[in-house]
Chains A and B, each alone.
Chain A
Amino acid sequence: MSASLDKGVRVLKEVIDAPIASYFSSCVHCGLCAEACLFYTETGDPKYTPIHKLEPMRRLYEQEYTLIGRLKKVLGLSKPVTDAELGEWQELVYNSCTLCGRCSLVCPVGNDIVYMVRKFREGMAVSGHAPEGIVEATRRTVSTGSPMGVTMHAVKAQMKHVEEETGISIPLDVEGVEYMVLLSSMEIINFPEYLSAIARIMKHAGKTWTLCSTGFEATNSGIQIGVSDLAKTIVSRIVEGAERLKVKTVISPECGHAYTALRWEGPNLIGRPFTFKVQHIVEVLDELRTQGLLKTEGFETDRLTFHDPCQLARRGGVIQPQRNLINMVAKNFVEMPDAGKMNWCCGGGGGVTAIERAEALRIEAFKKKKSQLEAVKPDRLVTACAVCRTTLEEGLEYYQMNIPVVGLTEIIAEHLPEQGA
Protein backbone atom coordinates (compact mmCIF):
# COMPACT_ATOMS: atom_id res chain seq x y z
CA MET A 1 0.00 0.00 0.00
CA SER A 2 1.45 3.40 -1.01
CA ALA A 3 1.86 6.13 1.62
CA SER A 4 -0.84 8.29 0.05
CA LEU A 5 -3.27 5.37 -0.21
CA ASP A 6 -2.52 4.49 3.40
CA LYS A 7 -3.32 8.06 4.46
CA GLY A 8 -6.43 8.13 2.29
CA VAL A 9 -7.75 4.88 3.72
CA ARG A 10 -7.03 6.15 7.24
CA VAL A 11 -9.00 9.31 6.52
CA LEU A 12 -11.86 7.31 5.05
CA LYS A 13 -12.01 5.17 8.19
CA GLU A 14 -12.03 8.32 10.31
CA VAL A 15 -14.81 10.04 8.38
CA ILE A 16 -17.13 7.06 8.70
CA ASP A 17 -19.08 8.56 11.56
CA ALA A 18 -22.34 7.42 13.16
CA PRO A 19 -24.58 8.91 10.44
CA ILE A 20 -22.55 7.29 7.64
CA ALA A 21 -22.49 3.94 9.42
CA SER A 22 -26.25 4.08 9.88
CA TYR A 23 -26.74 5.10 6.24
CA PHE A 24 -24.74 2.13 4.94
CA SER A 25 -26.48 -0.29 7.28
CA SER A 26 -29.94 0.97 6.39
CA CYS A 27 -29.59 1.08 2.59
CA VAL A 28 -32.24 -1.24 1.15
CA HIS A 29 -30.73 -1.32 -2.37
CA CYS A 30 -33.96 -0.03 -3.87
CA GLY A 31 -32.24 1.96 -6.64
CA LEU A 32 -34.46 5.01 -6.27
CA CYS A 33 -31.37 7.19 -6.01
CA ALA A 34 -30.41 6.14 -9.56
CA GLU A 35 -33.59 7.61 -11.01
CA ALA A 36 -32.90 10.85 -9.11
CA CYS A 37 -29.43 11.35 -10.62
CA LEU A 38 -29.21 13.07 -14.00
CA PHE A 39 -25.92 11.34 -14.77
CA TYR A 40 -27.77 8.02 -14.58
CA THR A 41 -31.03 9.07 -16.22
CA GLU A 42 -29.28 10.66 -19.19
CA THR A 43 -26.71 7.90 -19.79
CA GLY A 44 -28.54 4.81 -18.51
CA ASP A 45 -25.22 3.57 -17.12
CA PRO A 46 -25.74 1.87 -13.73
CA LYS A 47 -22.27 2.88 -12.54
CA TYR A 48 -23.73 6.37 -12.00
CA THR A 49 -26.17 5.10 -9.37
CA PRO A 50 -25.40 7.44 -6.45
CA ILE A 51 -25.02 4.80 -3.74
CA HIS A 52 -22.71 2.80 -6.04
CA LYS A 53 -20.41 5.83 -6.21
CA LEU A 54 -19.62 5.08 -2.56
CA GLU A 55 -18.76 1.40 -2.99
CA PRO A 56 -15.09 1.55 -1.86
CA MET A 57 -16.17 3.48 1.23
CA ARG A 58 -18.96 0.99 1.89
CA ARG A 59 -16.50 -1.91 1.79
CA LEU A 60 -14.21 -0.13 4.24
CA TYR A 61 -17.18 0.42 6.53
CA GLU A 62 -18.05 -3.27 6.32
CA GLN A 63 -14.47 -4.43 6.86
CA GLU A 64 -13.77 -2.13 9.79
CA TYR A 65 -17.06 -1.66 11.58
CA THR A 66 -19.18 -4.80 11.14
CA LEU A 67 -18.65 -8.19 12.73
CA ILE A 68 -19.10 -10.17 9.51
CA GLY A 69 -16.87 -7.77 7.62
CA ARG A 70 -14.12 -8.08 10.19
CA LEU A 71 -14.31 -11.88 10.08
CA LYS A 72 -14.16 -11.84 6.31
CA LYS A 73 -11.14 -9.54 6.46
CA VAL A 74 -9.34 -11.84 8.93
CA LEU A 75 -10.07 -14.82 6.72
CA GLY A 76 -8.86 -13.00 3.64
CA LEU A 77 -12.30 -13.10 2.04
CA SER A 78 -12.75 -9.36 1.54
CA LYS A 79 -11.41 -7.18 -1.24
CA PRO A 80 -9.08 -4.39 -0.06
CA VAL A 81 -9.40 -0.87 -1.42
CA THR A 82 -6.58 -0.16 -3.87
CA ASP A 83 -5.03 2.87 -5.54
CA ALA A 84 -6.24 1.65 -8.92
CA GLU A 85 -9.79 1.37 -7.65
CA LEU A 86 -9.81 4.87 -6.15
CA GLY A 87 -8.36 6.15 -9.43
CA GLU A 88 -11.23 4.52 -11.27
CA TRP A 89 -13.71 6.01 -8.79
CA GLN A 90 -12.56 9.57 -9.42
CA GLU A 91 -14.99 9.79 -12.31
CA LEU A 92 -17.86 8.66 -10.09
CA VAL A 93 -17.08 10.76 -7.02
CA TYR A 94 -16.17 14.01 -8.80
CA ASN A 95 -16.96 14.08 -12.55
CA SER A 96 -20.45 12.64 -12.22
CA CYS A 97 -21.57 14.16 -8.94
CA THR A 98 -22.52 17.82 -8.54
CA LEU A 99 -23.51 17.35 -4.88
CA CYS A 100 -26.98 18.42 -5.99
CA GLY A 101 -28.70 16.36 -3.30
CA ARG A 102 -31.56 14.99 -5.37
CA CYS A 103 -30.53 11.44 -4.40
CA SER A 104 -30.62 12.32 -0.71
CA LEU A 105 -34.12 13.72 -1.07
CA VAL A 106 -35.64 10.62 -2.66
CA CYS A 107 -33.94 8.03 -0.43
CA PRO A 108 -36.79 6.21 1.37
CA VAL A 109 -34.66 5.51 4.44
CA GLY A 110 -33.32 9.05 4.65
CA ASN A 111 -29.70 8.45 3.68
CA ASP A 112 -27.92 11.72 3.01
CA ILE A 113 -25.87 10.48 0.08
CA VAL A 114 -24.41 13.94 -0.59
CA TYR A 115 -22.99 14.01 2.92
CA MET A 116 -21.42 10.62 2.25
CA VAL A 117 -19.93 11.74 -1.08
CA ARG A 118 -18.49 14.84 0.62
CA LYS A 119 -16.82 12.64 3.21
CA PHE A 120 -15.62 10.19 0.56
CA ARG A 121 -14.02 13.12 -1.27
CA GLU A 122 -11.93 13.82 1.84
CA GLY A 123 -10.30 10.40 1.55
CA MET A 124 -9.97 10.77 -2.22
CA ALA A 125 -8.19 14.10 -1.83
CA VAL A 126 -5.74 12.78 0.78
CA SER A 127 -4.95 9.70 -1.33
CA GLY A 128 -4.15 11.88 -4.34
CA HIS A 129 -7.24 11.05 -6.37
CA ALA A 130 -8.91 14.45 -6.56
CA PRO A 131 -9.08 15.80 -10.14
CA GLU A 132 -6.25 18.08 -11.17
CA GLY A 133 -8.58 21.00 -11.96
CA ILE A 134 -9.99 21.10 -8.44
CA VAL A 135 -6.56 20.53 -6.87
CA GLU A 136 -5.18 23.53 -8.79
CA ALA A 137 -8.19 25.64 -7.80
CA THR A 138 -7.55 24.71 -4.18
CA ARG A 139 -3.86 25.66 -4.41
CA ARG A 140 -4.85 29.05 -5.83
CA THR A 141 -7.31 29.54 -3.01
CA VAL A 142 -4.51 29.02 -0.49
CA SER A 143 -2.09 31.35 -2.27
CA THR A 144 -4.41 34.13 -3.51
CA GLY A 145 -7.65 33.66 -1.59
CA SER A 146 -9.53 32.82 -4.80
CA PRO A 147 -9.81 29.53 -6.72
CA MET A 148 -9.63 31.49 -9.95
CA GLY A 149 -6.70 33.68 -8.93
CA VAL A 150 -8.74 36.86 -8.43
CA THR A 151 -6.87 39.44 -6.38
CA MET A 152 -8.04 42.62 -4.66
CA HIS A 153 -6.50 44.55 -7.55
CA ALA A 154 -9.04 42.98 -9.93
CA VAL A 155 -11.87 43.65 -7.49
CA LYS A 156 -10.85 47.30 -7.29
CA ALA A 157 -10.81 47.51 -11.09
CA GLN A 158 -14.35 46.16 -11.19
CA MET A 159 -15.43 48.50 -8.39
CA LYS A 160 -14.17 51.41 -10.45
CA HIS A 161 -16.03 50.17 -13.54
CA VAL A 162 -19.27 49.88 -11.56
CA GLU A 163 -18.80 53.27 -9.90
CA GLU A 164 -18.50 54.89 -13.33
CA GLU A 165 -21.49 53.03 -14.70
CA THR A 166 -23.83 53.66 -11.78
CA GLY A 167 -22.48 56.88 -10.33
CA ILE A 168 -22.60 55.14 -6.94
CA SER A 169 -19.56 54.78 -4.71
CA ILE A 170 -18.72 51.17 -3.81
CA PRO A 171 -17.91 51.02 -0.09
CA LEU A 172 -14.86 49.04 1.02
CA ASP A 173 -13.96 48.09 4.59
CA VAL A 174 -16.58 50.32 6.18
CA GLU A 175 -17.23 49.46 9.84
CA GLY A 176 -20.62 49.17 11.46
CA VAL A 177 -22.73 48.83 8.32
CA GLU A 178 -25.69 46.49 8.04
CA TYR A 179 -24.49 44.24 5.21
CA MET A 180 -21.14 42.80 4.15
CA VAL A 181 -21.49 41.72 0.54
CA LEU A 182 -19.48 38.75 -0.71
CA LEU A 183 -18.73 38.09 -4.35
CA SER A 184 -17.85 34.87 -6.09
CA SER A 185 -14.83 34.81 -8.39
CA MET A 186 -17.25 34.00 -11.21
CA GLU A 187 -19.08 37.27 -10.63
CA ILE A 188 -15.89 39.30 -10.41
CA ILE A 189 -14.64 37.81 -13.67
CA ASN A 190 -17.73 37.16 -15.79
CA PHE A 191 -20.64 39.10 -14.33
CA PRO A 192 -19.82 42.68 -13.27
CA GLU A 193 -23.53 43.41 -13.59
CA TYR A 194 -24.05 41.66 -10.23
CA LEU A 195 -22.05 44.24 -8.27
CA SER A 196 -23.70 47.01 -10.28
CA ALA A 197 -27.13 45.60 -9.35
CA ILE A 198 -26.19 45.39 -5.66
CA ALA A 199 -25.03 49.01 -5.63
CA ARG A 200 -28.26 50.23 -7.20
CA ILE A 201 -30.52 48.09 -5.00
CA MET A 202 -28.78 49.08 -1.75
CA LYS A 203 -29.01 52.75 -2.66
CA HIS A 204 -32.68 52.34 -3.58
CA ALA A 205 -33.43 50.54 -0.29
CA GLY A 206 -31.43 53.01 1.79
CA LYS A 207 -29.27 50.27 3.28
CA THR A 208 -25.64 50.54 4.36
CA TRP A 209 -23.21 47.93 3.07
CA THR A 210 -19.57 47.22 2.31
CA LEU A 211 -17.17 44.91 0.58
CA CYS A 212 -14.35 43.54 2.73
CA SER A 213 -10.77 43.60 1.42
CA THR A 214 -9.74 40.57 3.48
CA GLY A 215 -12.89 38.55 2.85
CA PHE A 216 -14.47 39.44 -0.48
CA GLU A 217 -14.47 35.93 -1.93
CA ALA A 218 -17.36 33.57 -1.21
CA THR A 219 -16.23 30.58 -3.27
CA ASN A 220 -15.13 27.68 -1.08
CA SER A 221 -13.21 25.08 -3.06
CA GLY A 222 -12.38 23.32 0.21
CA ILE A 223 -15.97 22.11 0.24
CA GLN A 224 -15.80 21.01 -3.39
CA ILE A 225 -12.55 19.08 -3.16
CA GLY A 226 -13.38 17.65 0.25
CA VAL A 227 -10.70 19.23 2.49
CA SER A 228 -12.29 20.43 5.70
CA ASP A 229 -9.17 22.28 6.93
CA LEU A 230 -9.12 24.41 3.80
CA ALA A 231 -12.88 24.95 3.91
CA LYS A 232 -12.40 26.18 7.49
CA THR A 233 -9.60 28.56 6.46
CA ILE A 234 -11.79 30.08 3.75
CA VAL A 235 -14.78 30.47 6.06
CA SER A 236 -12.50 31.95 8.74
CA ARG A 237 -11.40 34.75 6.39
CA ILE A 238 -15.01 35.80 5.97
CA VAL A 239 -15.79 35.47 9.69
CA GLU A 240 -12.74 37.54 10.66
CA GLY A 241 -13.68 40.21 8.11
CA ALA A 242 -17.30 40.36 9.22
CA GLU A 243 -16.36 40.55 12.90
CA ARG A 244 -13.69 43.18 12.29
CA LEU A 245 -16.21 45.33 10.41
CA LYS A 246 -18.95 44.58 12.97
CA VAL A 247 -21.60 43.94 10.31
CA LYS A 248 -25.04 42.55 11.12
CA THR A 249 -25.46 40.35 8.05
CA VAL A 250 -23.16 38.75 5.49
CA ILE A 251 -24.75 38.35 2.07
CA SER A 252 -23.83 35.24 0.14
CA PRO A 253 -23.78 36.00 -3.60
CA GLU A 254 -25.49 34.31 -6.53
CA CYS A 255 -23.40 31.19 -5.98
CA GLY A 256 -24.99 27.97 -4.78
CA HIS A 257 -22.32 26.11 -2.89
CA ALA A 258 -20.88 29.30 -1.34
CA TYR A 259 -24.19 29.66 0.47
CA THR A 260 -24.10 26.08 1.73
CA ALA A 261 -20.46 26.39 2.73
CA LEU A 262 -20.95 29.56 4.74
CA ARG A 263 -24.45 29.29 6.12
CA TRP A 264 -24.84 25.61 6.83
CA GLU A 265 -21.30 24.27 7.09
CA GLY A 266 -19.59 27.45 8.33
CA PRO A 267 -20.32 27.41 12.06
CA ASN A 268 -19.50 23.69 12.24
CA LEU A 269 -16.22 24.25 10.41
CA ILE A 270 -15.03 26.98 12.80
CA GLY A 271 -16.53 25.29 15.85
CA ARG A 272 -18.73 28.14 17.11
CA PRO A 273 -21.80 30.15 16.11
CA PHE A 274 -21.34 33.25 13.97
CA THR A 275 -21.83 36.68 15.55
CA PHE A 276 -23.66 37.80 12.41
CA LYS A 277 -26.45 36.50 10.21
CA VAL A 278 -25.82 34.86 6.83
CA GLN A 279 -28.36 35.25 4.05
CA HIS A 280 -28.37 34.52 0.35
CA ILE A 281 -28.92 37.61 -1.78
CA VAL A 282 -32.41 36.44 -2.83
CA GLU A 283 -33.39 36.14 0.85
CA VAL A 284 -32.18 39.69 1.45
CA LEU A 285 -34.03 41.02 -1.58
CA ASP A 286 -37.23 39.30 -0.55
CA GLU A 287 -36.87 40.70 2.97
CA LEU A 288 -36.46 44.20 1.50
CA ARG A 289 -39.60 43.55 -0.57
CA THR A 290 -41.65 42.57 2.49
CA GLN A 291 -40.36 45.66 4.36
CA GLY A 292 -41.54 47.85 1.49
CA LEU A 293 -37.96 48.90 0.72
CA LEU A 294 -37.74 47.28 -2.69
CA LYS A 295 -40.08 48.77 -5.25
CA THR A 296 -39.93 48.08 -8.94
CA GLU A 297 -41.69 49.49 -11.96
CA GLY A 298 -42.67 47.92 -15.25
CA PHE A 299 -42.85 44.29 -16.28
CA GLU A 300 -41.03 41.91 -18.55
CA THR A 301 -43.62 40.64 -20.98
CA ASP A 302 -41.70 37.75 -22.50
CA ARG A 303 -41.99 34.23 -21.15
CA LEU A 304 -39.62 33.70 -18.22
CA THR A 305 -38.80 30.60 -16.24
CA PHE A 306 -36.49 30.05 -13.26
CA HIS A 307 -33.72 27.50 -12.76
CA ASP A 308 -33.42 26.72 -9.04
CA PRO A 309 -29.77 26.34 -7.98
CA CYS A 310 -29.60 23.03 -6.07
CA GLN A 311 -27.66 24.38 -3.09
CA LEU A 312 -30.10 27.23 -2.66
CA ALA A 313 -33.43 25.47 -3.21
CA ARG A 314 -32.94 21.79 -2.39
CA ARG A 315 -30.05 21.93 0.10
CA GLY A 316 -30.81 25.40 1.44
CA GLY A 317 -34.61 25.37 1.47
CA VAL A 318 -34.89 28.78 -0.22
CA ILE A 319 -37.67 28.35 -2.80
CA GLN A 320 -40.39 30.99 -2.47
CA PRO A 321 -38.31 34.21 -2.18
CA GLN A 322 -37.00 33.98 -5.75
CA ARG A 323 -40.55 33.48 -7.04
CA ASN A 324 -41.83 36.47 -5.07
CA LEU A 325 -39.09 38.55 -6.68
CA ILE A 326 -39.68 37.35 -10.24
CA ASN A 327 -43.37 38.05 -9.90
CA MET A 328 -42.53 41.67 -9.09
CA VAL A 329 -41.16 42.14 -12.61
CA ALA A 330 -42.63 39.38 -14.81
CA LYS A 331 -46.09 39.13 -16.35
CA ASN A 332 -45.51 35.76 -17.95
CA PHE A 333 -43.61 33.51 -15.53
CA VAL A 334 -43.83 29.76 -16.02
CA GLU A 335 -42.48 26.94 -13.87
CA MET A 336 -40.49 24.10 -15.39
CA PRO A 337 -41.57 20.56 -14.49
CA ASP A 338 -39.96 19.50 -11.18
CA ALA A 339 -39.20 23.14 -10.28
CA GLY A 340 -38.31 24.03 -6.72
CA LYS A 341 -36.87 21.45 -4.37
CA MET A 342 -36.94 18.67 -6.97
CA ASN A 343 -35.40 20.76 -9.74
CA TRP A 344 -32.79 19.05 -11.91
CA CYS A 345 -29.22 20.27 -11.59
CA CYS A 346 -27.54 22.21 -14.41
CA GLY A 347 -24.78 19.59 -14.25
CA GLY A 348 -21.95 21.95 -13.39
CA GLY A 349 -21.97 22.26 -9.60
CA GLY A 350 -19.78 20.58 -7.00
CA GLY A 351 -16.60 21.43 -8.89
CA VAL A 352 -17.62 19.59 -12.08
CA THR A 353 -17.02 22.63 -14.33
CA ALA A 354 -13.40 22.72 -13.13
CA ILE A 355 -12.81 19.17 -14.44
CA GLU A 356 -11.96 19.22 -18.13
CA ARG A 357 -12.37 15.47 -18.52
CA ALA A 358 -15.97 15.76 -17.29
CA GLU A 359 -17.05 18.01 -20.14
CA ALA A 360 -18.53 15.39 -22.48
CA LEU A 361 -20.47 13.77 -19.63
CA ARG A 362 -21.71 17.16 -18.43
CA ILE A 363 -23.06 17.96 -21.88
CA GLU A 364 -24.74 14.55 -22.01
CA ALA A 365 -26.34 15.16 -18.61
CA PHE A 366 -27.60 18.56 -19.78
CA LYS A 367 -30.23 16.72 -21.83
CA LYS A 368 -32.31 16.64 -18.66
CA LYS A 369 -32.35 20.44 -18.43
CA LYS A 370 -33.01 20.59 -22.15
CA SER A 371 -36.14 18.46 -21.74
CA GLN A 372 -37.33 20.62 -18.82
CA LEU A 373 -36.94 23.74 -20.96
CA GLU A 374 -38.58 22.16 -24.00
CA ALA A 375 -41.62 21.47 -21.85
CA VAL A 376 -42.25 25.18 -21.18
CA LYS A 377 -40.49 26.89 -24.10
CA PRO A 378 -39.36 30.06 -22.29
CA ASP A 379 -38.04 33.16 -24.03
CA ARG A 380 -35.52 33.69 -21.24
CA LEU A 381 -34.16 31.74 -18.32
CA VAL A 382 -33.53 33.39 -14.94
CA THR A 383 -31.28 31.91 -12.26
CA ALA A 384 -29.42 32.93 -9.10
CA CYS A 385 -26.06 31.18 -9.35
CA ALA A 386 -23.11 32.22 -11.53
CA VAL A 387 -21.96 28.63 -12.06
CA CYS A 388 -25.45 27.53 -13.09
CA ARG A 389 -25.53 30.52 -15.41
CA THR A 390 -22.39 29.63 -17.38
CA THR A 391 -23.23 25.91 -17.36
CA LEU A 392 -26.70 26.64 -18.68
CA GLU A 393 -25.30 28.95 -21.36
CA GLU A 394 -22.83 26.29 -22.49
CA GLY A 395 -25.50 23.61 -22.63
CA LEU A 396 -27.94 25.84 -24.47
CA GLU A 397 -25.25 26.79 -26.95
CA TYR A 398 -24.30 23.15 -27.51
CA TYR A 399 -27.89 22.13 -28.18
CA GLN A 400 -28.55 25.27 -30.23
CA MET A 401 -31.34 26.54 -27.99
CA ASN A 402 -31.69 30.29 -28.23
CA ILE A 403 -32.68 31.09 -24.65
CA PRO A 404 -30.78 33.98 -23.03
CA VAL A 405 -29.87 33.46 -19.36
CA VAL A 406 -30.03 36.32 -16.83
CA GLY A 407 -29.30 36.73 -13.14
CA LEU A 408 -32.20 37.41 -10.77
CA THR A 409 -30.54 40.27 -8.88
CA GLU A 410 -29.68 41.92 -12.17
CA ILE A 411 -33.22 41.70 -13.54
CA ILE A 412 -34.63 43.20 -10.32
CA ALA A 413 -32.14 46.08 -10.50
CA GLU A 414 -33.17 46.75 -14.10
CA HIS A 415 -36.69 47.48 -12.85
CA LEU A 416 -35.80 49.97 -10.13
CA PRO A 417 -37.33 53.37 -10.70
CA GLU A 418 -34.81 55.64 -12.45
CA GLN A 419 -34.56 58.07 -9.54
CA GLY A 420 -33.55 55.22 -7.27
CA ALA A 421 -31.01 53.77 -9.67
Chain B
Amino acid sequence: MPTNDKDFKAKLGALPIAHQRHVGALFVQRVLPFSSDVQLKAALELALRADASDAELTGAYQAANTARVESFTRCGSVCDWADQAGHFVAKAVVACVRPAAEGEFGNSSLAWEAAMSARMARTCQTVASGVGTENREAEEQYRILSAFLNK
Protein backbone atom coordinates (compact mmCIF):
# COMPACT_ATOMS: atom_id res chain seq x y z
CA MET B 1 0.00 0.00 0.00
CA PRO B 2 1.39 3.45 -0.89
CA THR B 3 2.38 5.48 2.14
CA ASN B 4 3.01 8.81 0.45
CA ASP B 5 1.90 10.69 -2.65
CA LYS B 6 5.17 10.22 -4.52
CA ASP B 7 4.74 6.47 -4.37
CA PHE B 8 0.99 6.78 -5.01
CA LYS B 9 1.56 8.94 -8.12
CA ALA B 10 4.20 6.56 -9.48
CA LYS B 11 1.94 3.52 -9.01
CA LEU B 12 -0.98 5.26 -10.72
CA GLY B 13 1.20 6.39 -13.62
CA ALA B 14 2.39 2.82 -14.21
CA LEU B 15 -1.15 1.50 -14.72
CA PRO B 16 -2.53 0.89 -18.22
CA ILE B 17 -5.04 3.58 -19.20
CA ALA B 18 -8.12 1.37 -18.79
CA HIS B 19 -7.05 0.58 -15.23
CA GLN B 20 -6.35 4.25 -14.59
CA ARG B 21 -9.93 5.07 -15.59
CA HIS B 22 -11.27 2.34 -13.36
CA VAL B 23 -9.28 3.20 -10.26
CA GLY B 24 -9.83 6.94 -10.86
CA ALA B 25 -13.58 6.28 -10.98
CA LEU B 26 -13.35 4.39 -7.68
CA PHE B 27 -11.74 7.50 -6.12
CA VAL B 28 -14.48 9.72 -7.52
CA GLN B 29 -17.28 7.44 -6.30
CA ARG B 30 -16.46 8.52 -2.75
CA VAL B 31 -17.23 12.18 -3.52
CA LEU B 32 -19.92 11.76 -6.19
CA PRO B 33 -22.73 12.56 -3.69
CA PHE B 34 -21.40 16.16 -3.61
CA SER B 35 -22.82 16.65 -7.11
CA SER B 36 -26.41 16.23 -8.20
CA ASP B 37 -25.54 16.17 -11.91
CA VAL B 38 -26.95 12.95 -13.39
CA GLN B 39 -24.65 13.19 -16.41
CA LEU B 40 -21.63 12.94 -14.14
CA LYS B 41 -23.04 9.81 -12.55
CA ALA B 42 -23.57 8.26 -16.00
CA ALA B 43 -20.05 9.24 -17.10
CA LEU B 44 -18.56 7.68 -13.99
CA GLU B 45 -20.42 4.43 -14.61
CA LEU B 46 -18.95 4.41 -18.10
CA ALA B 47 -15.42 4.87 -16.72
CA LEU B 48 -15.94 1.76 -14.61
CA ARG B 49 -16.83 -0.32 -17.67
CA ALA B 50 -13.89 -2.12 -19.29
CA ASP B 51 -15.68 -2.25 -22.66
CA ALA B 52 -16.43 1.48 -23.04
CA SER B 53 -15.95 2.52 -26.67
CA ASP B 54 -14.04 5.62 -27.79
CA ALA B 55 -17.30 7.14 -29.04
CA GLU B 56 -18.97 6.58 -25.66
CA LEU B 57 -15.99 8.08 -23.85
CA THR B 58 -15.99 11.10 -26.13
CA GLY B 59 -19.69 11.76 -25.45
CA ALA B 60 -19.25 11.34 -21.71
CA TYR B 61 -16.17 13.56 -21.74
CA GLN B 62 -18.03 16.36 -23.49
CA ALA B 63 -20.94 16.16 -21.06
CA ALA B 64 -18.65 16.10 -18.02
CA ASN B 65 -16.55 18.96 -19.36
CA THR B 66 -19.68 21.07 -19.86
CA ALA B 67 -20.62 20.39 -16.23
CA ARG B 68 -17.10 21.37 -15.15
CA VAL B 69 -17.08 24.66 -17.08
CA GLU B 70 -20.61 25.60 -16.03
CA SER B 71 -19.79 25.04 -12.37
CA PHE B 72 -16.80 27.39 -12.17
CA THR B 73 -17.32 30.05 -9.50
CA ARG B 74 -17.07 33.27 -11.46
CA CYS B 75 -14.85 36.15 -10.46
CA GLY B 76 -16.82 38.45 -8.15
CA SER B 77 -19.49 35.87 -7.27
CA VAL B 78 -19.78 34.66 -3.71
CA CYS B 79 -18.31 31.18 -3.33
CA ASP B 80 -20.64 28.43 -2.20
CA TRP B 81 -18.17 25.76 -1.12
CA ALA B 82 -20.76 22.98 -1.38
CA ASP B 83 -21.34 23.92 -5.05
CA GLN B 84 -17.60 24.18 -5.53
CA ALA B 85 -17.24 20.60 -4.29
CA GLY B 86 -19.53 19.71 -7.19
CA HIS B 87 -17.21 21.54 -9.57
CA PHE B 88 -14.27 19.42 -8.49
CA VAL B 89 -16.36 16.26 -8.79
CA ALA B 90 -17.00 17.28 -12.41
CA LYS B 91 -13.29 17.93 -12.91
CA ALA B 92 -12.45 14.50 -11.49
CA VAL B 93 -14.99 12.82 -13.78
CA VAL B 94 -13.53 14.65 -16.80
CA ALA B 95 -10.16 13.06 -16.02
CA CYS B 96 -11.71 9.58 -15.74
CA VAL B 97 -13.42 9.66 -19.15
CA ARG B 98 -10.89 11.70 -21.12
CA PRO B 99 -10.43 9.91 -24.46
CA ALA B 100 -6.91 8.71 -25.18
CA ALA B 101 -6.80 11.02 -28.20
CA GLU B 102 -6.95 14.07 -25.90
CA GLY B 103 -3.49 13.18 -24.64
CA GLU B 104 -2.01 13.70 -21.19
CA PHE B 105 -0.63 16.77 -19.51
CA GLY B 106 2.94 16.94 -18.24
CA ASN B 107 3.99 14.08 -16.00
CA SER B 108 0.57 13.48 -14.45
CA SER B 109 -1.87 10.68 -15.27
CA LEU B 110 -5.63 10.45 -15.59
CA ALA B 111 -5.93 8.62 -12.29
CA TRP B 112 -3.68 11.11 -10.47
CA GLU B 113 -5.72 14.03 -11.81
CA ALA B 114 -8.93 12.29 -10.73
CA ALA B 115 -7.45 11.66 -7.28
CA MET B 116 -6.38 15.28 -6.79
CA SER B 117 -9.73 16.68 -7.92
CA ALA B 118 -11.59 14.21 -5.70
CA ARG B 119 -9.47 15.42 -2.78
CA MET B 120 -10.30 19.03 -3.62
CA ALA B 121 -13.99 18.12 -3.71
CA ARG B 122 -13.62 16.70 -0.20
CA THR B 123 -11.68 19.80 0.91
CA CYS B 124 -14.43 22.10 -0.42
CA GLN B 125 -17.08 20.05 1.35
CA THR B 126 -15.03 20.30 4.55
CA VAL B 127 -14.85 24.08 4.19
CA ALA B 128 -18.61 24.20 3.48
CA SER B 129 -19.38 22.24 6.61
CA GLY B 130 -17.13 24.51 8.68
CA VAL B 131 -15.62 21.62 10.65
CA GLY B 132 -11.95 22.37 10.17
CA THR B 133 -9.53 21.34 7.46
CA GLU B 134 -8.91 17.68 8.29
CA ASN B 135 -10.01 14.85 6.04
CA ARG B 136 -8.81 11.32 5.32
CA GLU B 137 -9.29 11.27 1.55
CA ALA B 138 -5.61 10.59 0.73
CA GLU B 139 -5.47 7.55 3.02
CA GLU B 140 -8.73 6.24 1.55
CA GLN B 141 -7.28 6.62 -1.96
CA TYR B 142 -4.15 4.70 -0.94
CA ARG B 143 -6.39 1.92 0.41
CA ILE B 144 -8.48 1.83 -2.81
CA LEU B 145 -5.39 1.61 -5.01
CA SER B 146 -3.88 -1.09 -2.85
CA ALA B 147 -7.07 -3.17 -2.99
CA PHE B 148 -7.23 -2.68 -6.77
CA LEU B 149 -3.62 -3.78 -7.25
CA ASN B 150 -4.07 -6.84 -5.02
CA LYS B 151 -7.18 -8.09 -6.85
- A-side residues, CB < 8 A to B, are 133-134, 136-137, 140, 147-150, 153-154, 156-158, 160-161, 164-167, 185-186, 189-190, 192, 219, 221, 224, 298, 300, 302, 348, 351, 353-354, 379, 386-387, 390, 393-394, 397, 404, 406, 411, 414-415, 418
Contacts and interface: CB of A to CB of B under 8 A. Distances in A.
A154 B76 contact: no
B65 interface: yes
Contacts of A224: 76
A74 to B, nearest CB: 43
Contact of A160 (B69, B108, B123): B123
Given A153-B133, A157-B133, A415-B106, A164 B76 contact: no
A224 B138 CA distance: 39
B69 A393 contact: yes
B76 A192 contact: no
Nearest to A158: B123
**A-B interface, 4 closest residue pairs, ranked by CB to CB distance from nearest:** A354-B76, A414-B106, A137-B76, A157-B133
Interface in B1-34: 4-6
Given A133-B76, A353-B76, A161 B6 contact: no
Contacts of A302: 103
A148 B107 contact: no
Contact of A157 (B77, B78, B108, B126): B126
B116 A397 contact: no
B127 interface: yes
Contacts of B134: 160
A158 B123 CA distance: 7
Contacts of A189: 73, 79, 84
A354 B74 contact: yes
Given A136-B78, A140-B78, A154-B81, 15 more contacts: A133-B76, A147-B75, A148-B77, A161-B119, A185-B75, A190-B72, A190-B73, A190-B84, A224-B76, A300-B106, A354-B77, A390-B74, A390-B75, A394-B72, A397-B69
Contact of B78 (A148, A160, A387): A148
Contacts of A298: 107
A192 to B, nearest CB: 6
A406 B106 CA distance: 11
Given A133-B77, A397-B69, A414 B105 contact: yes
Contacts of A185: 75, 79
Contacts of B75: 147-148, 185-186, 219, 348, 351, 353-354, 386-387, 390
Contacts of A411: 106
A351 B105 contact: no
Given A154-B127, A167-B4, A418 B107 contact: yes
Nearest to A154: B127
Interface in B93-151: 102-103, 105-108, 116, 119-120, 123-124, 126-127, 130, 133-134, 138
Contacts of A161: 119-120, 123
A161 B115 CA distance: 12
B91 to A, nearest CB: 9
A111 B29 CA distance: 57
B6 A134 contact: no
Contacts of B84: 189-190
A185 B70 CA distance: 18
B66 interface: yes
A149 B107 contact: no
B65 A397 contact: yes
22 contacts: A147-B75, A154-B79, A154-B127, A157-B123, A157-B126, A160-B134, A161-B120, A164-B119, A165-B116, A167-B5, A167-B6, A185-B75, A186-B73, A186-B75, A190-B72, A190-B84, A219-B75, A224-B76, A302-B103, A348-B75, A393-B72, A414-B106
Contacts of A134: 76
A147 B6 CA distance: 36
A132 to B, nearest CB: 11
Contacts of A386: 75
